[in-house]
Amino acid sequence: MTQNQPNLIESWKKEEQKPFIGWDFSYLDGRMLLEQPPWSYSTRARELMSESTSCLDIATGGGERLLLLRDSWPEKLVVTEGYPPNVELARRNLEPLGVRVVEANNDEYSPMTFEDGEFSLVLNRHAALHVDEIARILVPGGRLLTRQVHGLWAQDLLAAFDATPQWPDATPEKYVPWLQSAGFNVLDVKDWSGRLVFTDVGAIVYYLKAVPWLVPGFSTASHTDNLFSLQKQLETQGELVFEARNYLIEAEKPGCRPLSSSHVDTPAARADFCGMRPGCQDHLLFHRLGHPLEQCRSPNGLIPRPQPHFDRACFEFRLL
């Protein structure tokens, strides 16, 4: 390895200069291998989008993954993105298809520039969760689906560069209570760990430059010794294996969500959309009417579909 050191350093520096736009790691195909969890965020997102009338995709990147779900897009689709190169890419990819692209930084504290109850679905893949704002912009009965990078993602890779996770508490144990405090019903939590494999050290260089918050200040020049330690390990073991961790959370804002035009009308589906279990009094009312209620009328006029905190005995329900 000693004789090849200058060549290795030069090749690693070239990897540093490779462009990275959007959230597209296809450049590392065959060089970075990530095991996948037994559950699929994309599959569940597609199911929820097909049942929704409006959707917000938070921190969409360049819209690459959203484009893969195009067959299930709802009538109204809005995305946010805060990284300027990605904003321009998202606009090129999505605006010609009728998607509204909003430039906005994503964090756990800043207000969102959307109306109360503007969306029936919020998607969030690997972005910060402002749970109170998400609750505000969702309709009653609206869903949140998020896939998150666990706070201890690849901590063994970080340790190889003398770094530690910046957000070790970014776990379901943190976010589930936050969601519940914001009024959500947490419907599903899936936590997973698997293998993150690199076949060469140059792939790690590219990866760490693309995701700069993992090892702040990383460069070939500043971490040469660390890179050579990994190179030695690679030559001994044949591959470099680290621990990947992800989790998925699905949560619902209490209430009744509106049906999409493509929704299949069945008793079980009515129970799902009215937010009640089959057999409950409210579900039986929906069932007897033979059609899902889009709106209800009270003695005081038109109101949204009923929410759990309403005294339903006070209302006269009619199909409109």
Tell me the pLDDT tens digit for each residue of 186-218. Answer: 999 999 999 999 999 999 999 999 999 999 999
Q: What percent of the chain has pLDDT over 90?
A: 75
Per the structure block, which two tokens stand in for 246? 């992800």
Q: Specify the amino acid at residue 272.
A: D
Inter-residue contact 257 to 275 (CB < 8 Å): yes
Q: What pLDDT is attached to residue 309?
A: 36
Per residue in 71-83, pLDDT tens?
999 999 999 999 8
Across the chain, mean pLDDT equals 85
Inter-residue contact 249 to 179 (CB < 8 Å): yes
Instruction: Please tell me the distance from the alpha carbon of residue 89 to that of residue 49, in angstroms, as a whole number.
Output: 23
Q: What pLDDT is attached to residue 195?
A: 98
Q: Specify the amino acid at residue 118.
A: E
Q: What percent of the chain has pLDDT over 70?
A: 79
Inter-residue contact 274 to 284 (CB < 8 Å): no
Higher pLDDT, 94 or 266: 94
pLDDT exceeds 70 at position 1: no
CATH superfamily placement of domain 2-252: Vaccinia Virus protein VP39 (3.40.50.150)
Range in 157-161, 188-192, 283-287, 303-307 with the lowest mean pLDDT: 283-287
pLDDT exceeds 90 at position 271: no
Instruction: Please tell me the distance from the alpha carbon of residue 240 to that of residue 230, in angstroms, as a whole number.
Output: 8
pLDDT exceeds 80 at position 133: yes
Size of the chain in residues? 320
Per the structure block, which two tokens stand in for 273? 């959309």
Which pTM was predicted?
0.76
pLDDT band at 24 (very low <50, low <70, confident <90, very high): confident
User: What is the domain partition of the chain in residue ranges?
Assistant: 2-252, 267-314
